[in-house]
Amino acid sequence: MSSRMLRVLAGTAVLGVLAAGCGSQGGDAGAGASGGEKITLSLNLFGNMGFKELYAEYEAAHPNIKIVERTSAYNDHHRNLAAHLATKQGAADIEGIDTGFIAQFRGQPQHFTDLNQHGAAALKDRWLPWKWEASLAKTGAQIGYGTDVGGLAMCYRRDLFEKAGLPTDRDEVSKLWPDWTSYFEAGKKYTANKPEGAAFFDGAPQVFNAMVGQMPVGYYDTSDQVIVASNPELRKAYDQVLEAVAGGQSAKLVGSSPAWNTGFAKSQFATIACPAWMLAKIQDQGKEFAGQWDVAAIPGGGGNWGGAYLTVPAQSKHPKEAVELISWLTAPEQQIKVFTKHGILPSTVATYDKPEVKKLTHEFFNDAPIGEIFTTAALNLKPQYQGPRAGDIQTAIRDGMNRVEEGKQSADEAWAQILKDIDRIDK
Amino acid sequence: MTSVTTRPRRRLAYTLDVKGSPYIYIAPFFLLFGALGLFPLLYTAYVSMTDWNLLETTRQWVGFENYAELLTDDYFWNALFNTVSIWLLSTIPQLLVALVVAHMLNRSLRARTFFRMGVLLPNITSIVAVTIIFAQLFGRDFGMVNWAIQLVGLDPIDWQAGTLSSHIAISMIVIWRWTGYNALIYLAAMQAVPDHLYEAATIDGAGQWTQFWKITIPMLRPTIIFTAVVSTIGGFQIIAEPLLFQSGTGNPTGGSDRQFQTVGLYLYEQGFGLYEFGYASAIAWTLCLIIVVMALVNFSITRRIKSG
């Protein structure tokens, strides 16, 4: 065995010991909880979920509760959680889970506290129906309460549209693409007169994901069978996107890569499917484009990209207190605070009518009514069943589409390899 | 008479002290090695004989099935090819350049210590930072390397997309980071070469170059063996560079067609991406055996360097 592997294993062992140490500390604190002693509730999250200010408020109302939040990087967080659940050791009282991983963890409901046993049914109407269903296990157990969603819109550059002879007003732009076919038609018109170096969209897989998200059935049927090969809608969308790539509409940038970040600053694309949380990123990557970016509706009308859940692992020593905390954090009153302070879009429908949410506009994006645009997209999205390995399947398809964009394979060759890769994932 | 009774006891204590205490002194290392080295090694061997996915509750004994599967796994062979290719592309130039650099540092230079410490700087910089910067340099649209290539009038290269081009780019990172380190090791060995050999050679009329090949290289033989073996071990374990070269996407597939996925990265994908711990452990053990074999081959090749 390589010494690197040894180090990885050693590191894991050490982490396990440390985590176990933390866990037992929590246990000690909880032993005398009935006597009014302090209970420490730990939260393991990824990135900033905007809860920091709320903890103090909760602690003030519950003097016996102390809240400790730990954050780590997105991938590390979910990998650690999987390991902690499997070894039944080291998980926090509350663990955040991203939409991209929820289907995988939902497949192991035995590792989580069933919130339905703690009065979840009475709260069900708080959330968007698809948000609620995505964390519902086959056994009927509810493993998590939804925090935020991404919604989905189509951000576009007014200046580039104008140069290419397309309308710039956001309502007219939204009318330009009621569905994806008309979006690619608009792309054709744009490409015919496009400004030098600025393609129509950022990269094929990103557009494809937005399209798949709107389909009634995606990669899985409801019995967890992978149906990528037999779902004609998928292949149709795949061909549609790659045809647009062949027509020069794509900037061929891999999503989330450094080159993609540079693409914002260098104006390499005129449109990008953007969830609410991406607005901050677009702004950061190119401050000089204030007022040039605008937000139109997503083709097809509804969509979501991203969002998270709060769960209580079964190994928590204080399931009751932990469930109380997550149901408080995800309540509409708190979610409005998170939204107004951090711009993180809630998954709680009840907040969508509130003027703070509905009337919100964004100066950088030419005063676009982002509150209305994103809540409409979230409301219009029809629930789609997500299977356990949907994320890995998405990666296989992304790689395949990148191969076509890089000119290494034809669409057919890439598709054949995608199906082979998915067979391996699904075996 | 008292001395008769006490002497054997004292002698026993003395013997124990002399023969026994060294073991106590070295015990901490072996205890640590046992806990953090040997145990994981053996446990990984056990895990590699099971079908264990972290997401499933079952864990089955499958014997050598994982290894059998590995031998027919195209992606494993692809990863092995990539590993060997990147290793050759990085190690050979790296050691040759290190020899030359060490030779130059061994002369009487102005600010010698500054330069000697300077060559080690790349090695102590963060691998994450270095790789991300190199990924930018080798960027497709706005990379500096492509900019330079276009100045010369050539077509820009999509470095990440191609097999050879991505291997070259990753090798550059390795070369940049490790050349100085090896140069310092060679330098240390060069300083141990007795001066009178060079003096005698100079008197006999041998030039700089001849002295380098006929004296320095042979005298450095054990060091060259050492660096070759260490570079082999390091080169076959390479994982951070190819992982971060594809940075931001968070997926350890090593490019859209796995064109720069190394064995270490494939292990990581199977173990910590897909949670196939059994299969990943089999990859780990196979990789270990490959490294042992390659290190032995390397040892037998480099020891043929004529010793002075």
pLDDT digits (tens, 9 = 90+) for B182-229: 999 999 999 999 989 989 999 999 888 898 888 989 999 889 989 999
B284 vs A12, residue with greater confidence: B284
For B291, the closest of A2, A9, A406 (CB atoms) is: A2
Of A104, A257, A408, the CB nearest to B55: A104
- The span from the CA of A340 to the CA of B102, in Å, is 61
- Verify that A143 and A201 share a domain, yes or no: no
Q: Are residues A291 and A380 in the same domain?
A: yes
- Structure token digits, residue B32: 């640590």
Q: Same domain, yes or no, for A332 and A283?
A: no
**Do residues A83 and A167 both lie within one domain?**
no
- Looking at the partner chain, which of A75, A262, A408 has a beta carbon nearest the beta carbon of B250? A75
Q: What confidence score (pLDDT) does residue A86 get? A: 87
Tell me, yes or no, if B135 comes closer than 8 A to chain A by beta carbon: yes
Residues A394 and A324 in one domain: no
Q: Flag whether pLDDT at A349 surpasses 60.
A: yes
- Interface contact flag, B139 A74, Cβ < 8 Å: no
Inside any domain, residue B54: no
Q: What is the pLDDT of residues B234-249, one digit of tens each?
A: 999 999 999 988 866 6
One domain for residues B78 and B38: no
Same domain assignment for residues B43 and B76: no
- In chain A, the number of structural domains is 2
Same domain, B273 and B145: yes
For range A308-323, the mean pLDDT: 96
Is residue B57 in some structural domain?
no
B140 vs A: CB within 8 A: yes
B55:A260 CB<8 A: no
Report yes or no on B118 lying in a domain: yes
In terms of domains, do B79 and B156 share one? yes
Question: Is B56 inside any structural domain?
Answer: no
Residues A406 and A313 in one domain: no
B43 and B190 assigned to the same domain: no
Range 368-427 of A in CB contact (< 8 A) with B: 388, 392, 395, 399-400, 402-403, 406-409, 425
Domain that holds residue B36: 2-47
Per-residue pLDDT at A383: 82
Expressed as residue numbers, the domain containing A18 is 3-149+306-355
Same domain, residue pair A45 and A169? no
Domain membership of residue B175 (yes or no) is yes
- Domain tally for chain B? 2
Q: Using one digit for the tens of pLDDT, what is the confidence trace for A369-406?
A: 999 999 999 999 888 888 888 888 998 999 999 999 99
> What are the pLDDT digits (tens) for B152-178?
999 999 999 999 999 999 999 999 999
B38 found inside a domain: yes
* Residue B10 in domain: yes
Based on the domain organization, do B193 and B274 belong to the same domain?
Answer: yes
Q: How many CB pairs under 8 A join A and B?
A: 106
Average pLDDT, chain B: 90
Instruction: For A19-52, give the DSSP string.
Output: HHHHHHHHHHHHHTGGGT--EEEEEEEES--S-H
Model pLDDT, residue B157: 94
pLDDT digits over B135-157, tens only? 999 999 999 999 999 999 999 99
Helix (H, G, I), strand (E, B) or coil at A209: helix
CATH number, position A315:
3.40.190.10
Residue B207: CATH number of its domain: 1.10.3720.10
Q: Is the pLDDT of residue A22 over 80?
A: no
More confident residue, A422 or B19: A422
Q: Are residues B80 and B163 in the same domain?
A: yes
| Residue B33 sits at the chain A interface (C-beta within 8 Å) | no
Residue of B40, B142, B274 with shortest CB distance to A10? B40
Distance from CA of A259 to the nearest CA of B (A): 7
Out of B248, B273, B288, the one facing A1 most closely (by C-beta) is: B288
On whether both A219 and A294 belong to a single domain, the answer is: yes
Instruction: Tell me the C-alpha distance between A17 and A29, whole Å.
Output: 19
pLDDT digits (tens, 9 = 90+) for A242-291: 999 999 999 999 988 888 989 999 999 999 999 988 998 899 888 999 99
Residue B59 with chain A: CB contacts under 8 Å: none
pLDDT score of A20 = 40
pLDDT at A89 over 70: yes
Q: Are residues A79 and A200 in the same domain?
A: no
Residue A30's pLDDT band, with cuts at 50, 70 and 90, is very low
My answer on whether B27 and B121 are in the same domain is no
Split at pLDDT 50, 70, 90, the class of A62 is very high
Confidence of residue B307 (pLDDT cuts 50, 70, 90): low
Name the residue in chain A with its Cα closest to that of B138: A259
A300 and A310 part of one domain: no
Rounded CA gap, A397 and A224, in Å?
A: 18
Clarify whether residues B240 and B294 are in a common domain. Answer: yes
Are the beta carbons of A74 and B54 separated by less than 8 Å? Answer: no
Does A191 share its domain with A243?
A: yes
B200 shares a domain with B146: yes
**Contact between chains at B40 and A255 (C-beta distance less than 8 A):** no
Residues B85 and B22 in one domain: no
A341 and A234 fall within a common domain = no
From chain B, pick out residues whose CB is under 8 angstroms from the CB of A399: 253, 255-257
User: Is residue B62 in a domain?
Assistant: no
- DSSP class of A345: P
| A400–B284 C-beta distance less than 8 A | no
Q: What pLDDT sits at residue B6?
A: 60
3-state secondary structure string, chain B?
CHHHHHHHHHHHHHHHHHHHHHHHHHHHHHHHHHHHHHHHHHHHHHHCCEEEECCCCCEEECCCHHHHHHHCCHHHHHHHHHHHHHHHHHHHHHHHHHHHHHHHHCCCCCCHHHHHHHCCHHHHCCHHHHHHHHHHHCCCCCCHHHHHHHHCCCCCCCCCCCHHHHHHHHHHHHHHHHHHHHHHHHHHHHHCCCHHHHHHHHHCCCCHHHHHHHHHHHHCHHHHHHHHHHHHHHHHCCCHHHHHHCCCCCCCCCCCCCCCCCHHHHHHHHHHHCCEHHHHHHHHHHHHHHHHHHHHHHHHHHCCCCCC
pLDDT digits (tens, 9 = 90+) for A93-121: 999 999 888 998 998 999 999 999 999 99
The pLDDT assigned to A14 comes to: 43
Tell me the pairing of strands A199-201 and B50-52: unpaired
Predicted pLDDT of residue B54: 83
